[in-house]
Structure 1
Amino acid sequence: MPYTIQAENTDLFSIDAQGELNPDNIPEAVDQIMEQTSEEDPGSLLVRLQHMDLGTLHNVASSWSRTAEFFALQKRFNKVAVLTDQPWVRQSAKMQAVALPDTELKVYDLADEADARVWLEKQAAPAAEPELA
């Protein structure tokens, strides 16, 4: 299988994909993530994309990003870190981030996984309470 999905803990999921993805496998992967995540308690997602085939990834991302499943899935993650070994995947992920208005997305080199994990684990600072005079 060209991808694996793992629940590392209740707040962090990881997806590893490499080579040529089969668009027919996407619904199965989405179902697997949807079963293990919650819209009420969004978590973080670490995605590793290695040696990706340009045509396949583009076709999958292009058609899938317009589906209802994509919009439902994005509500389950506050943060997404994409690790990749290819500059064109990095650019593509940054462009795809526009379709994720409620999700923070950062792209890292594969060698920077530790930095990506630190960023994913960092909680947003609570809003400051106004001081009463």
Structure 2
Amino acid sequence: MFQVMRNGNDRIDVEMSGQLDSNEMRAALDELSQKSEGIAHGRLFCRAHDIHLPTLATMGIEVSRLPKMFTFVRRFERMAVVADQGWVRKTSEIEGALIPGLTIKAFDPKQVVEAERWLYQ
């Protein structure tokens, strides 16, 4: 499952769970790009639960869409990831270290209030 919701002028909320196949990943990336149009210096709030490792086909979609993803990512300054799995939190923070201009911080599900507060510091 992957849901994208615009939350005001500068924020996108994403909720994801399970495992995305390549078709779902393609649709998710398109929806993220579309719903983030017009955002500058944005905030991204992501809730992830019970995430499964992506398939090779799904990772291939991500790689093939890198130019579009970089356009999307440049619209955001901060991303809070609330995840119930330690490996998802760690992976998110590693990605944040690799993406210039985007700061990603991961939180435990018990820290939702702190995650939302951090987005706007």
What TM-score range do you get, normalising by the shorter chain? 0.7 to 0.9
* Residues in 1 aligned to 2:89 and 2:55: alpha-carbon distance in whole angstroms: 12
* Residues in 2 aligned to 1:106 and 1:70: alpha-carbon distance in whole angstroms: 19
Amino acid at match of 2:62: W
Task: Indicate how the Cα distance of structure 1 residues 59 and 96 shifts in structure 2: closer, same or farther if over 3 A, else same.
Answer: farther
Offset at residue 39 of structure 1 (A): 6.2
Larger radius of gyration: 1
Contact 2:84 2:108 in 1 (8 A): yes
Task: Indicate how the Cα distance of structure 1 residues 26 and 115 shifts in structure 2: closer, same or farther if over 3 A, else same.
Answer: same
Structure number having the greater strand percentage = 2
Offset at residue 103 of structure 1 (A): 0.6
Equivalent residue in structure 2 for 1:64, among 59, 62, 65: 62
Task: Indicate how the Cα distance of structure 1 residues 38 and 82 shifts in structure 2: closer, same or farther if over 3 A, else same.
Answer: same
* Residues in 2 aligned to 1:58 and 1:111: alpha-carbon distance in whole angstroms: 32
* Residues in 1 aligned to 2:111 and 2:15: alpha-carbon distance in whole angstroms: 15
What is the TM-score with the length of structure 1 in the denominator? Answer: 0.78
* Residues in 2 aligned to 1:72 and 1:119: alpha-carbon distance in whole angstroms: 24
Within the alignment, does 1:108 sit opposite 2:118 as a pair? Answer: no
- Tell me the C-alpha RMSD between the 2 structures: 2.2
Q: Which runs of 5+ in 1 are unaligned?
A: 123-133
Within the alignment, does 1:94 sit opposite 2:93 as a pair? Answer: yes
Identity %: 21
Counterpart secondary structure, 1:101: coil
Amino acid at match of 2:3: T
Q: Which runs of 5+ in 2 are unaligned?
A: none
What is the TM-score with the length of structure 2 in the denominator? Answer: 0.84
* Residues in 1 aligned to 2:40 and 2:21: alpha-carbon distance in whole angstroms: 30
Aligned residues: 120
Q: Cα deviations across residues 45-102 of structure 1 (Å, max 9, x unaligned)?
A: 0011100112x27874576257112211110111001110001111111221233111
